[in-house]
Amino acid sequence: MAENSSSSLAGKRVVITRAMTESEDLARELSKRGAIPVVFPLVSFAEPEDFGPLDKALDEIVQFDWIILTSARAVRAVANRASESGRLLVPSGKRLQVACVGPITAAAAKLANFSVTHVATTHHGVALAEELGPRLQGAKVLLPRSDRANPDLPAALRRYGAQVTEVIAYRTVKPADVNRSALAEIAFGKIDALLFFSSSAIKHYAVIQSVNRRSLRGLQNEVAITAVGPVTAKALLESGVERIVVASDTTAASVMEALEKHFAVSKAAPAGVKRA
């Protein structure tokens, strides 16, 4: 595709730290603007060590009032397990209310034949709980998530009176194989932006790059270290990164807006934008 010279992203090498299967829209939008997307997954996924709790929840799905889905990965994990084990995901006649953390998760839920009741306006778990608020009082809520999921969401749901059943639908693990070429480009600052989507990816980066001794803190003046969503931004701050570009939510449009604004206003400035 021809380079879009009207975009401040034209010619920029942008590293996406998740798999292409989850990044196709984002990579496409970057390419449209003349950027060069580099896919460098820092997280991988595996089945739960024990399917028992998830199977039990699926067997008792009619007892739940809500199922809260916090990622497309969680949707696929639940739908795949139901299909593989011959269980009916949404029994006919059961009015199971479905809440999703954002539009990407909602799209995956609809593909899995969930009837989505609510999509969070602010795309993170605690905000979703706050938006549902009093509707959760006394409600039985199923929360299928990663083994490394943030504990803030179930705590927020319980504050609003929900009876929460949290089950591990999948595990988040460090990828077995690493793209050494991309790793070297990052280590030597030969990229323009580095996008993070989760705290797990940040932790895995620290382990993988320890051999090169190029911490994120050390890169922050050379590369636009970008947090996709406020939860990830908080994790970057806690890791010692002070200069962060923040996309307000997980949509490709939000990421494009944050990156284009950053590169448009800081051509002669250090790569990162210090977060207020």
Q: Are residues 92 and 117 in the same domain?
A: yes
Last residue of a domain, one of 149, 173, 197: 173
Mean pLDDT of 57-84: 95
CATH code (residue 188): 3.40.50.10090
Mean pLDDT of 21-26: 89
Chain segment 134-150, per-residue pLDDT in tens = 999 999 999 999 999 98
State residue 207's pLDDT score. 85
Q: Percentage of the chain surpassing pLDDT 90? A: 69
Last residue of a domain, one of 143, 173, 203: 173
Last residue of a domain, one of 173, 188, 213: 173
Mean pLDDT of 166-179: 90
Q: Are residues 27 and 55 in the same domain?
A: no
> E strands of 124-213, at which residues?
140-146, 163-173, 193-196
| Contact predicate 5/260, CB 8 Å | no
Q: Are residues 60 and 168 in the same domain?
A: yes
Chain segment 184-204, per-residue pLDDT in tens = 888 777 899 999 999 999 999
pLDDT at 121 over 70: yes
pLDDT at 126 over 70: yes
Residue range of the domain that includes 119: 46-173
pLDDT at 3 over 60: no
| Number of compact structural domains in the chain | 2
Give the orientation angle of helix 72-84 with respect to helix 52-59, to 10 degrees: 80
Instruction: Tokens 């977060």: give the residue.
Output: 275
Instruction: Transcribe 39-53 into DSSP letters.
Output: E----EEE--S--HH
- Quote the pTM value: 0.84
pLDDT at 154 over 80: yes
pLDDT category, 211, cuts 50, 70, 90? low
Q: How far apart are CA 226 and CA 176, in angstroms?
A: 24
